[in-house]
Chains A and B, each alone.
Chain A
Amino acid sequence: MEEKMKLQPEDFQALEVTTELDAEKIAAPSLTFTQDAWRRLKKNKGAVISLFIVLIMIVLSFGSTPFVNRDTLVKSQPQYANLPSKIPGVNINGLNGKAEVGGVWVDKYAQAGVPKDKYFIFGTDYLGRSLGQRILYGTKISLIVALVATFFDLTIGVTYGIVSGWKGGRTDNVMQRIIEVISSVPSLVIVVLMLVVFKPGIGSIILAIAISSWTTMARMIRAETLQLKSQEYVLAARTLGESPTKIAWKHLVPNLSSIIIIQTMYTIPNAIFFEAFLSFIGIGISAPETSLGVLLNEGQKNFQFLPYQMWYPAIVLCVLMISFNLLGDGLRDAFDPKTRR
């Protein structure tokens, strides 16, 4: 496990003393905390690729808003139903508009009378709606859910944790008991109750995830705040009469940033999974809205005959989850090198 150095007799020769040698000189450029983390992150190939995939997905799904919105989603063209994918210039069976019917590859586009210059890159669903557009929209929903979950993690979770850790004593005790009660209720139950009480839809899903997702963050922030509280610089700030809000904002939050970033990266895949899961079993987002979970549910119904309708959304969802997980691991290693092995 330990690296063995190959030492040669020359290595034991004394160095010539030159005048330029300066023991005090710092050879490497001094880096700030963020620069240092960024440098470490860049070395992690998986994380960098994931970062690019996530960025591309964000740009594509949010950039498509003017072209793909609720109006285009409900526009059905039943004559184009269940067309396989057709990509311009590609002539591989399954990707060129042909589908296997009874062992023979048939050009579905010609059968349906689709104009020659019309392509559905990801095919169409059972109502003739472009699957590609629906996947883009679904990805956007997933990303929005992730974004909002992060927002609540940051606002409720971080604030709650800092207040609890900072105040200490009885306040801390009561606040921790509340967290204990909330986190011993399965988040599934909270989510389901929310969805039963409010109308299923993106609003209630987001609310439900918001209520159940912040407790882990609050716990970690509290534990760290307890330690930071006794640091000299915090003591100095207190002695100078700085207000607690300002101490929290200027001294605690910057020092908590690595935990915050790492924990956020765990919340995001969870939130995306939860939305897809709820929509898949039919208690989350429902028509006319769509999401990756809804698409998977629709695709699963005729997976045997039209496998692409499930495969495409499944691949997009898996790629999204893998990217966020890899990025999360990369960020953890970058911001907290101690845990790296």
Chain B
Amino acid sequence: MKKYLLKRVFYMALTLFLVATITFFLMKLMPGTPYSNQEKMSPEQIAIMNQQYGLDKPIWMQYLLYMGGMLHGDLGTSFQFSNQPVSYLISSRIGASAQLGIQAMIFGIFFGIIFGSIAAINRNTWVDTSVTVLSIIGKSVPNFVLAVLLQYYIALKLGWFPIADWDGFAYTILPTIALGVGPLAETSRFMRTGMVDVLNSDYIELAKAKGLSKFQIVYHHALRNSLIPLVTLIGPYTVALMTGSMVIENIFSIPGIGEQFVKSILTNDYPTIMGVTMLYSAGLVAVILLTDIIYGIIDPRIRLAGNGD
């Protein structure tokens, strides 16, 4: 297990190193300059600006400085907001994004489990069919369409929740729903299949024979075992939530990373793009490693199989 973990951490570091390197050189390839009114500046002014941003040094030197700085958590200075370090920009915005992401994940997985289990228990009835239909719709309707509709009909027309902004729990509800419906649909489909499998297994038959109630069978025996494969979905969900947050945060004007990322792309703010890229990659790699470890802990069969590797 230790050897396996070390290997995984090594590949994790390698991945991040490659992402950082490729991002850096791609950004250096880009035409244009970070200064919006370069025509009006004298060559001396440009030189001073270049010196301030460290753009006067040869590219390999900039690369080494960038990589060195990253080890200390220094991601450079934003082009868009003068003199704001990218790391400050990120750390001041990560709270909202993390809260939204975690809430959406919990919302999606929790209700997904409930809906999926209900569908599996009432297999081939109208309950099952309606859950299946709803989950197909939930999977197919893009989250940004849903977000606009929720914002208009629930927030503006009905006035149940605030329309936009980020100022307390009530503000988080609509974005959470918009972002969480995709994972919810996926979880409920996955859960249904897993639960049907488990319900057909021998030990459930035994539990029935013991005379346990339906609730006890589902809660104590079936649910736990059908939950295990769900862990593998957390990685893909993280990606979906990161992607989704870019557009949901924009629609609900939430001061998060995703909103900043879109702004940076539109304004060619390369240091911020690089910083957020690194953050997203690091986040995903960490989540994948974590879910692998959790999976090994909760399902001993995997751990045993993994030892031989």
Residues of A within 8 A of B (CB): 1, 177, 180-181, 184-189, 192-193, 195-197, 269, 273, 276-277, 280-283, 296, 300, 303-304, 307, 310, 314, 317-318, 321-322, 325-326, 329, 339, 341
- Which residues of B, 233-248, contact A by the 8 Å Cβ criterion? 239, 242-243, 246-247
Task: Tell me if B71 is interfacial: C-beta within 8 Å of chain A.
Answer: no
Question: Do B148 and A282 touch (CB < 8 A)?
Answer: no
Residues of A within 8 A of B142 (CB): 273, 276-277, 280, 317-318, 321
**Complex Cα distance A177/B277, Å?**
21
B101 → chain A, closest Cβ, in Å? Answer: 13
B266 → chain A, closest Cβ, in Å? Answer: 6
Task: Tell me if B137 is interfacial: C-beta within 8 Å of chain A.
Answer: yes
**Complex Cα distance A187/B14, Å?**
18
Residues of B within 8 A of A (CB): 11-12, 14-15, 18-19, 22-23, 26-27, 29-30, 123, 136-137, 139-142, 144-145, 148-149, 152, 156, 193, 196-197, 239, 242-243, 246-247, 250-251, 261-262, 265-266, 268, 273, 277, 280-281, 284-285, 288
Question: Do B23 and A193 touch (CB < 8 A)?
Answer: yes
Residues of B within 8 A of A177 (CB): 11
Question: Do A296 and B144 touch (CB < 8 A)?
Answer: yes
Question: Do B265 and A280 touch (CB < 8 A)?
Answer: no
With A181-B18, A196-B30 given, can you name 7 additional A-B contacts, CB distance below 8 Å?
A: A184-B12, A193-B22, A273-B142, A280-B144, A281-B246, A296-B148, A300-B148
**Complex Cα distance A43/B21, Å?**
52
In order of increasing CB-CB distance, the 5 nearest A-B pairs are: A321-B140, A322-B140, A188-B243, A181-B15, A314-B145
**Complex Cα distance A196/B277, Å?**
12
Question: Do B284 and A185 touch (CB < 8 A)?
Answer: yes
Question: Do B247 and A281 touch (CB < 8 A)?
Answer: yes
Closest residue of chain B to A323 (Cβ to Cβ) is B140
The contact of B29 among A180, A187, A197, A314, by CB within 8 Å, is: A197
Question: Do B250 and A281 touch (CB < 8 A)?
Answer: yes
Residues of A within 8 A of B14 (CB): 181
**Complex Cα distance A281/B251, Å?**
9
**Given A184-B288, A189-B281: A325 touches B243 (CB 8 Å cut-off):** no
The contact of A187 among B140, B239, B251, by CB within 8 Å, is: B239
**Complex Cα distance A1/B152, Å?**
44
**Complex Cα distance A189/B29, Å?**
17
**Complex Cα distance A193/B264, Å?**
12
B137 → chain A, closest Cβ, in Å? Answer: 7
**Complex Cα distance A191/B275, Å?**
16
Residues of B within 8 A of A188 (CB): 239, 242-243, 246, 280
A195 → chain B, closest Cβ, in Å? Answer: 7
B149 → chain A, closest Cβ, in Å? Answer: 8
The contact of A193 among B197, B246, B277, B285, by CB within 8 Å, is: B277
Residues of A within 8 A of B137 (CB): 318, 322
- Of the A-B pairs whose beta carbons lie under 8 Å apart in the complex, a sample of 12, sorted by A's number, is A185-B284, A186-B239, A188-B243, A192-B273, A276-B142, A280-B142, A303-B152, A307-B152, A317-B142, A318-B145, A321-B141, A341-B193
**Complex Cα distance A307/B152, Å?**
10
Question: Do A189 and B277 touch (CB < 8 A)?
Answer: yes
Question: Do B136 and A325 touch (CB < 8 A)?
Answer: yes
**Given A185-B284, A281-B247, A304-B156: A196 touches B148 (CB 8 Å cut-off):** no
Closest residue of chain B to A319 (Cβ to Cβ) is B140
Closest residue of chain A to B286 (Cβ to Cβ) is A184
Question: Do B148 and A303 touch (CB < 8 A)?
Answer: yes
Question: Do A184 and B284 touch (CB < 8 A)?
Answer: yes
Closest residue of chain A to B14 (Cβ to Cβ) is A181
B8 → chain A, closest Cβ, in Å? Answer: 10
A317 → chain B, closest Cβ, in Å? Answer: 7
**Given A193-B26, A321-B141: A186 touches B242 (CB 8 Å cut-off):** yes
**Complex Cα distance A192/B280, Å?**
12
**Complex Cα distance A277/B262, Å?**
12
Residues of B within 8 A of A300 (CB): 148, 251
Residues of A within 8 A of B140 (CB): 269, 318, 321-322, 325
Residues of A within 8 A of B22 (CB): 193
Closest residue of chain B to A180 (Cβ to Cβ) is B11
**Complex Cα distance A228/B65, Å?**
50
A219 → chain B, closest Cβ, in Å? Answer: 13
Closest residue of chain B to A188 (Cβ to Cβ) is B243
Residues of A within 8 A of B247 (CB): 277, 280-281
Residues of A within 8 A of B262 (CB): 281-283
A136 → chain B, closest Cβ, in Å? Answer: 19
**Complex Cα distance A236/B223, Å?**
46
**Complex Cα distance A321/B143, Å?**
12
B130 → chain A, closest Cβ, in Å? Answer: 14
A228 → chain B, closest Cβ, in Å? Answer: 22
The contact of A317 among B29, B145, B156, B242, by CB within 8 Å, is: B145
Chain B CB count within 10 A is highest, among A187, A277, A317, for A277
**Given A282-B262, A283-B262, A325-B139: A186 touches B26 (CB 8 Å cut-off):** no
**Given A184-B288, A188-B280, A269-B140: A197 touches B30 (CB 8 Å cut-off):** yes
**Given A197-B29, A322-B137: A184 touches B148 (CB 8 Å cut-off):** no
A196 → chain B, closest Cβ, in Å? Answer: 6
